[in-house]
C-alpha cells in the first residue's frame, strides 16, 4: 500500500500561470505538466537524437553565459552537468510531452529547461538557491531560436553519422557485386520487355552509382543545416540575447560535434522559414526513390525460382508462406520498399509544414523534426539490413541468364546494320511465331555467313565492357 501511495505522490510546482501538481519524483515542472496534459495525441516523444542535440545546446549555452558573466560559475557548472546528462539519455523518461504539440516546440524546450533546472538544483544541494528554468537555463534563448537550432544540429549530425556511412557501405557492397558479376551476360529489359544484352555487373553498377549520388545529395543538403538560428530569440531581433552569445555558443557546438556550424546570416529567414529542412527532406526522398528502384529490381530479377526471371538468387532467410511449403519471399526487398514509401510520405508532410510558415515563425517544427529524423534513421537502418540480409548473399544464376539471352527476340537488333531494320523485324516476328531462336532461324535461312552471324550475335560484343 505504501508503494501504491508513493507512486501517486505529488508535489506542487509553479509557473507564470500558477500552481500545478506534478509527480513527486519527476524532474519536470508546471509548464511541462500543463503540456503533458494538453497534448495526449500520439504517445510519441521526440527521438533520442533530438534530445541529445537539445541537451548539447543547453550545455553550450550555459558555458557561454558563464563566460559572459550572465551565470555564476558554480550554477553554470551544475547546469552543464545536468544538460550533459540529458545529452547522454539519462533523463529521457523525463521528456513526457507528445511530439504533436505547440508548433514552436516551446513545450519541449520548457521540458528541457525544467528538467535541467531541477537536476542542477539536486547537484547543488538542498541549501542552494533555486535554479530557474527560464532565467538560468534558458538565458539568452527563446524556443523560437533554440528549437530550429536543435532541429538543424540533430538532423545534420544524423545524416553524417548514420545515413552517409550506411550509404557508403551499401555502395561498396554493390560495387563489389558489380565486379563479381561482370562476366555474367544477361538480357536487358525496357518497358519490362526484352531488350539488348548487357552485363549483370553493368546493371548492378548502375545501382551503385545511384547510391553514390544519393549520398552526395544528402551531404550537400546537410550543409544547408549548418546555419543555426541561435541568437534570434523571439522573432529574429535578438532581444535579450547578450552580444557574442550566439557566436560563442555555436563555436562550442561545432567543437562538440566535429562539424562546423555558423550563425544564421539572416535570423528572420532562420526563424520564419524551414527551407533548409525541406531541402534536406527532399534529398532523403531522392535516396528513398533510388533504394526503392534498386530493391524492386532485385526482387524482379530474383522472381521465381522457376516461373519468374530468376537471374538472381536471394539468400533464404525465413519461410515465405504460412500455407505454401518451401516458398521463400524477397522479404528484405519488401522492407526496403516500405521504408522508402514512409520516407516519401514524411517528405510530403514536411513540404506542407515548410509552406506553412507564417510571419516570423514556422509552427511545424516538431513535425518536421520527427519526420526528418525518422527518415534518416529508417534509411540508414534499412540500408544496413539490405546489405547484411540480402546483398551480401546475392548470387547470379549464370545458366539461366545465358539461356534467356539466347532465347530473346531482341538479339535481332545486332543484325540491323547488316540486313536492315525491316528484314530484322521480319526475322523477329517469325522467331516469335515459331518459338525458334533468332540464331537458329538465321542459320537455317543463311541470312549471313556463320562466322559473321556468330560475331554479330555474340552477347559479349553487344554488351561491351
- Which phi and psi (to 5°) does residue 394 adopt? -70, 135
Taking the C-alpha atoms of residue 398 and residue 216, their distance in angstroms, rounded to an integer, is 33
Give the pLDDT score at 2. Answer: 42
Candidates 383, 169, 354, 355; CA nearest to 288 is 383
Taking the C-alpha atoms of residue 7 and residue 11, their distance in angstroms, rounded to an integer, is 12
Task: Name the CATH topology of 408-459.
Answer: Ribonucleotide Reductase Protein R1; domain 1 (1.10.40)
Could you tell me if 399 and 421 are in contact, meaning their C-beta atoms sit under 8 angstroms apart? Answer: no
Candidates 381, 293, 380; CA nearest to 337 is 293
Could you tell me if 48 and 92 are in contact, meaning their C-beta atoms sit under 8 angstroms apart? Answer: yes
**Catalytic center residues:** 191, 321
Give the CATH number of domain 2-139; options: 3.40.50.300, 1.10.10.1100, 1.10.275.10, 1.20.1250.20.
1.10.275.10
Give the CATH number of domain 145-398; options: 3.40.50.1370, 1.20.140.10, 1.20.200.10, 3.40.47.10.
1.20.200.10
Could you tell me if 68 and 245 are in contact, meaning their C-beta atoms sit under 8 angstroms apart? Answer: yes
CA angle 282, 280, 235 (to 5 degrees): 120
CA separation, residue 77 to residues 59, 133, 150 (Å): 9, 15, 21
- State the number of CA atoms in the 13 A half-sphere of 447 facing the CB: 23
pLDDT averaged per 10 residues in sequence order, the chain, 465 residues: 59 93 96 96 97 98 98 98 98 98 97 98 93 97 98 98 98 98 97 96 98 98 97 97 98 98 98 97 98 98 95 93 90 98 98 96 97 98 98 97 94 94 94 94 93 93 89
Same fold, 2-139 and 145-398: no
Residues 6+ apart with CB under 8 A from 138: 109, 113, 146
Domain segments of the chain as ranges: 2-139, 145-398, 408-459
Amino acid at each position: 500500500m505504501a508503494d501504491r501511495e508513493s507512486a501517486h505522490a505529488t508535489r506542487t510546482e509553479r509557473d507564470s500561470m500558477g500552481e500545478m501538481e506534478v509527480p513527486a519524483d519527476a524532474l519536470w515542472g508546471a509548464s511541462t505538466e500543463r503540456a503533458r496534459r494538453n497534448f495526449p495525441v500520439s504517445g510519441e516523444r521526440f527521438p533520442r537524437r533530438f534530445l541529445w542535440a537539445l541537451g548539447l545546446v543547453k550545455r553550450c549555452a550555459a558555458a557561454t553565459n558563464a563566460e559572459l558573466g550572465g551565470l555564476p560559475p558554480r550554477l553554470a557548472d551544475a547546469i552543464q552537468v545536468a544538460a550533459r546528462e540529458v545529452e547522454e539519455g539519462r533523463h529521457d523518461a523525463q521528456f513526457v510531452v507528445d511530439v504533436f504539440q505547440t508548433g514552436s516546440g516551446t513545450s519541449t524546450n520548457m521540458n528541457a529547461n525544467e528538467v535541467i533546472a531541477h537536476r542542477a538544483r539536486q547537484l547543488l544541494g538542498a541549501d542552494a538557491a533555486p535554479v530557474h528554468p527560464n532565467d538560468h537555463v534558458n538565458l539568452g534563448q527563446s524556443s523560437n531560436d533554440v528549437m530550429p537550432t536543435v532541429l538543424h544540429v540533430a538532423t545534420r549530425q544524423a545524416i553524417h553519422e548514420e545515413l552517409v556511412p550506411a550509404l557508403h557501405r551499401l555502395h561498396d557492397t554493390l560495387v563489389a557485386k558489380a565486379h563479381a558479376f561482370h562476366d555474367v551476360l544477361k538480357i536487358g529489359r525496357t518497358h519490362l520487355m526484352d531488350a539488348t544484352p548487357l552485363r549483370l555487373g553493368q546493371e548492378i553498377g548502375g545501382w551503385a552509382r545511384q547510391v553514390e549520388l544519393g549520398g552526395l545529395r544528402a551531404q550537400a543538403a546537410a550543409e544547408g543545416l549548418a546555419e543555426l538560428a541561435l541568437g534570434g530569440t523571439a522573432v529574429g531581433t535578438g532581444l535579450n540575447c547578450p552580444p557574442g552569445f550566439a557566436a560563442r555558443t555555436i563555436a562550442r557546438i561545432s567543437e562538440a560535434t566535429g562539424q562546423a556550424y555558423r550563425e544564421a546570416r539572416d535570423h528572420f529567414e532562420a526563424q520564419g522559414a524551414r527551407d533548409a529542412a525541406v531541402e534536406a527532406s527532399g534529398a532523403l526522398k531522392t535516396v528513398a526513390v533510388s533504394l526503392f528502384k534498386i530493391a524492386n529490381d532485385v526482387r524482379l530479377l530474383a522472381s521465381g525460382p522457376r516461373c519468374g526471371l530468376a537471374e538472381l538468387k536471394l539468400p533464404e532467410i525465413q519461410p515465405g508462406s504460412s500455407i505454401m511449403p518451401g516458398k521463400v519471399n524477397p522479404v528484405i526487398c519488401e522492407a526496403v520498399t516500405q521504408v522508402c514509401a514512409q520516407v516519401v510520405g514524411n517528405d510530403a508532410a514536411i513540404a506542407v509544414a515548410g509552406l506553412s510558415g507564417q510571419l516570423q515563425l514556422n509552427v511545424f517544427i516538431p513535425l518536421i523534426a520527427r519526420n526528418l529524423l525518422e527518415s534518416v534513421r529508417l534509411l540508414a537502418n534499412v540500408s544496413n539490413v539490405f546489405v547484411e540480409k540480402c546483398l551480401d548473399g546475392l548470387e547470379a544464376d549464370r545458366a539461366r541468364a545465358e539461356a534467356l539471352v539466347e532465347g530473346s527476340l531482341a538479339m535481332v537488333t545486332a543484325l540491323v546494320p547488316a540486313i536492315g531494320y525491316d528484314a530484322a523485324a521480319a526475322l523477329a516476328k517469325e522467331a516469335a511465331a515459331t518459338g525458334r531462336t533468332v540464331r537458329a532461324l538465321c542459320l537455317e535461312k543463311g541470312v549471313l555467313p556463320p562466322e559473321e552471324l556468330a560475331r554479330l550475335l555474340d552477347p559479349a560484343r553487344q554488351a561491351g565492357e
